[in-house]
Amino acid sequence: MALVTTAEVCDANPQLIVSGELRALQPIFQIYGRRQVFCGPVVTLKVFEDNVLVREFLEEKGNGRVLVVDGGASQRCAILGGNPVVQAQNNGWAGIIVNGCVRDVDEINGCDIGVRALASHPMKASKKGIGEKHVPVMVGGTRIFDGEWIYADTDGILVSKMELSV
C-alpha cells in the first residue's frame, strides 16, 4: 500500500463505501508486529479456542496473503502465539487478523509481519483441530469473504471486494 493511507483510500472511494464494496472494521484491534502497514488477499478461518488450523495455515506459503481468523472474540485464551507468527513471517504472509487473543507479544512484536488482535492473553488454546476453512467470517462487525482484500495501517482496517489500485 506504499504511501497511501486507509483514510486516503476512503476519501478517494466514496462510491465503494456506499455500495458496500469497501468496508471498515470496527476500531477494536490492537496493533502487534513490526509491520504496521500491510495489505493482501484474504484467507478466512473460523475457530473457537483452538489453534491447530491456524498453525496449519501459517505453515503454508503465504504469498503476501492475510489470514483472517474469526476466533469468536474469545478472551479466555490466545489462539495465536509467537512460534506461528515467526513461521508466518518466514513463509511470506503479509498479515494476520485475529478476532480473539494472541500471546508471546514481545516475540510477535519482533517479527516483520502485521498482526491485529483484540488483546493478549497468557493461556494457550486447545489442540483439537476443529474449525472451518475458507468460509465467510464475521470480524470487527463486518462479514469478510475468502478472496477479498485487506488494507491495514495505524488508522484502521479496510476490506475490499477487489484489489484496489492505490
Bridge partners, 126 (sequence order): 50
Specify the pLDDT at position 3. Answer: 62
Supply angle C-alpha 59, 79, 27, rounded to 5: 110
Burial of 146 (0-12, 13-18, 19+ CB in 10 A): middle
What is the pLDDT confidence band of residue 1, given thresholds at 50, 70 and 90? very low
CATH fold of the domain at 6-160: Glucose Oxidase; domain 1 (3.50.30)
Nearest alpha-carbon partner for 141 in 8, 21, 26: 26
Q: Is 153 annotated as a binding residue?
A: no
Q: Is 83 annotated as a binding residue?
A: yes
Q: Looking at residues 149-164, what average pLDDT do you find?
A: 96
Q: Say what percent of the chain tops pLDDT 90.
A: 96
| Radius of gyration of the chain measured on its C-alpha atoms | 15
Domain boundary assignment for the chain:
6-160
Q: Is 104 annotated as a binding residue?
A: yes
Supply angle C-alpha 116, 73, 134, rounded to 5: 75
Q: Is 50 annotated as a binding residue?
A: no
Q: Is 103 annotated as a binding residue?
A: yes
68: cell is: 483472517
Helix (H, G, I), strand (E, B) or coil at 139: strand
Nearest alpha-carbon partner for 138 in 16, 2, 28: 28
Helix (H, G, I), strand (E, B) or coil at 145: coil
Specify the pLDDT at position 159. Answer: 98
Specify the pLDDT at position 4. Answer: 74
Q: Looking at residues 29-36, what average pLDDT do you find?
A: 97
What is the pLDDT confidence band of residue 165, given thresholds at 50, 70 and 90? confident
Q: Is 155 annotated as a binding residue?
A: no
Q: Looking at residues 96-101, what average pLDDT do you find?
A: 98
Specify the pLDDT at position 27. Answer: 97
